[in-house]
Chains A and B, each alone.
Chain A
Amino acid sequence: MSEINDSFVKLISSVWHRFTPSNSDASTLADMLKPMDIAGEEVAENIEFDDEPSDFNAALEELAEKTGGI
């Protein structure tokens, strides 16, 4: 369940970003944000930060294909 609605979108827009979306825009954006909000909450439940600091770019190098090409 997500509490995001067009009023929330309008509030964030006007306070943080200095513009006001139309009602239609705010409604569409709210609909787009809801599944993201729900998924984000579900994912956040399982995140541990004990492995931080970490480095994605270093992980790419570490996990590179072992043969160095064929």
Chain B
Amino acid sequence: MNEIFKLDLCKVADLIKKREVSAIEVTQTAIKRAEGLQPSLNAFIRLDAAEALEAASEIDKKIKRGETVGSLAGVPLAHKDIFYRKGKLTTCGSKIRSQFKSNRTSTSFQRLSNAGAVYLGGLNMSEFAVGPIGNNIHYGDCNNPWNLDHASGGSSSGSGAAVAGRIVYGALGSDTGGSIRIPSAMSGVVGLKPTQNRVSRYGLMPLSFSFDCSGPMARTVRDAARVLDVIAGHDPKDPTSSQRPKDNYEGACDKSIAGLKIGIPKTYFYDEIDTEVGVALDLVQQQYSDLGAEIDFVDVPDHNHMNLIWAAALAAEASTIHRKWLRDRPDEYGPMVKRRIEFGLYQPATRYLEAMTLREKYLREYCKTALANCDVLLTPTLPVTAPAYNDLDVGGGKNMPDLVLKLSRNTRPISYLGLPALSVPCGFSKLGLPIAFQLFGRPFSEAQLCSLGAAYQNITEWHHRVPDTALL
């Protein structure tokens, strides 16, 4: 099966279970592609080929013996190199942790392994998960599969590139202000940021205690839903994880969306978008209307203050985590990353507490207003397409804050509110760069987002397109 890399996660998992293709064959293909595309994409920090082949072999043996295997049995995945595995390297995209071996295994990683997923290696990322661009001074920039001169998006840069490049069938990313959705949008894949506390954070190196989430990035909404089905749910090792029973996310992909109400924010989210992004989003609205959803324009609360106080709270938490390294090993950070983290050292405790106090109030206000009369809101994930690396100030200079604010403009508020959000590809610019929309809804409405995202992909073909760079 020469083109097995073009299949989606659910399809390849089904073929492996039926023994129409072996886990070894799929994994060998993935390894070959990871090696072949590394010089152009630089998606991997570390490829664990031997370990992957051994895991795939075990899966094949189990299937041959007729044993029950999980929903991801034999499927090659790789993850942002920030999910700990006991006794194994996890760099977090940094020089400081280049030799770090944790004493624990991330719950998300463990659950994926239990479901039979084959782990291919640690994926490139923005250093310490800071930054929406996808550059990395220590391991090299991760390049956009649709145009190698353009940014892949961060901070889960390798996750987006490896999935879009058809190396792996899915990947975990982490999202504190857009780090799943931004690289998903820039790389033309699906990204799902769950509700705060829906997925355990145990074994995920923190950037922010309050805003970090981990979630799936994949080629289709159904693929992402299947991964979420595996990783979601309460974890006794993460006391903040929700006790609320999880939904059937993959099952939700088959539900009708007729009658669901989609709100279009009247302000903020569409204010600074490129023309091409606007045209694509207009078409998405029409397509949802054709599918039977009700479209309405809604007022949303002011986001400008929300964004700034989110940044203050995030920086305060990040600088708390990094304070010792900032003092003792400052030269081991990239300049942009160091600047954004150390920014928190100058926030008064009162401002941090104001930001955290307001978080609940803003959430309640949002649910009473913008989300009161509609099920979800529809926005562009990014106001622009992936910028060229040459056009970016990635050195931490004076233009850096504006750049960060622009790229994460539509994702940050959702992180502050703790709401679930789904990014779905919805077209390409004239330069051939992906455009994506974002759906977000009330807390724990991931199933609804999956229904809506899958319905859209049932009538469109953007997710079937393969970048030329991926055709080895």
Using a CB–CB distance below 8 Å, which chain A residues touch chain B?
4, 8-9, 12-13, 16-19, 21, 25, 28-29, 31-33, 35-36, 39-40, 42-44, 47, 49, 51-52, 54-57, 59-61, 63-70
A17 to chain B, nearest CB (A): 5
A-B contact pairs, 7 of them (CB 8 A): A33-B346, A43-B354, A43-B358, A56-B210, A66-B442, A69-B252, A70-B255
* A67–B444 alpha-carbon span in the complex (Å): 10
Whether A57 and B363, one on each chain, are in contact in the complex, defined by CB atoms closer than 8 angstroms, is no
The proximity string for B residues 413-448 relative to A, scoring 1 for CB distances below 8 Å and 0 otherwise, is 000001000000000000000000000011111111
Whether B248 and A19, one on each chain, are in contact in the complex, defined by CB atoms closer than 8 angstroms, is no
CB neighbours of A55 from chain B (8 A) = 360
B259 to chain A, nearest CB (A): 10
Does B108 sit within 8 A of A, measured CB to CB? Answer: no
Within 8 A of A (CB), among B342-365: 342-343, 345-347, 350-351, 354-361, 363-364
Whether B326 and A19, one on each chain, are in contact in the complex, defined by CB atoms closer than 8 angstroms, is yes
* A65–B445 alpha-carbon span in the complex (Å): 5
Whether B343 and A29, one on each chain, are in contact in the complex, defined by CB atoms closer than 8 angstroms, is yes
Does B65 sit within 8 A of A, measured CB to CB? Answer: no
Whether B252 and A44, one on each chain, are in contact in the complex, defined by CB atoms closer than 8 angstroms, is no
Does B465 sit within 8 A of A, measured CB to CB? Answer: no
Using a CB–CB distance below 8 Å, which chain B residues touch chain A?
195-197, 210, 240, 242, 244, 247-248, 252, 255, 260, 304-305, 308-309, 311-312, 323, 326-327, 330, 339, 342-343, 345-347, 350-351, 354-361, 363-364, 367, 375, 396-398, 401, 418, 441-448, 451
Whether A70 and B252, one on each chain, are in contact in the complex, defined by CB atoms closer than 8 angstroms, is yes
CB neighbours of B359 from chain A (8 A) = 56
A30 to chain B, nearest CB (A): 9
Q: Pick the contact of A61 from B210, B244, B323, B446 — CB < 8 Å? A: B244
Whether A56 and B445, one on each chain, are in contact in the complex, defined by CB atoms closer than 8 angstroms, is no
Say whether, besides A19-B326, A32-B343, A32-B401, A56 and B418 are in contact (CB < 8 Å).
yes
Apart from A39-B308, A42-B305: 7 A-B pairs, beta carbons within 8 A: A12-B346, A33-B343, A44-B351, A47-B357, A49-B357, A56-B359, A61-B444
Q: Pick the contact of B363 from A9, A56, A67 — CB < 8 Å? A: A56
Whether B248 and A69, one on each chain, are in contact in the complex, defined by CB atoms closer than 8 angstroms, is yes
B180 to chain A, nearest CB (A): 18
CB neighbours of A68 from chain B (8 A) = 247
Whether B323 and A70, one on each chain, are in contact in the complex, defined by CB atoms closer than 8 angstroms, is no
Residue of B nearest to A57 (CB): B197
Which of A12, A57, A69 has the most chain B CB atoms closer than 10 A to its own CB?
A69
* A6–B248 alpha-carbon span in the complex (Å): 53
Residue of A nearest to B450 (CB): A69
Say whether, besides A19-B330, A43-B309, A54-B360, A60 and B197 are in contact (CB < 8 Å).
yes
Whether A56 and B356, one on each chain, are in contact in the complex, defined by CB atoms closer than 8 angstroms, is yes
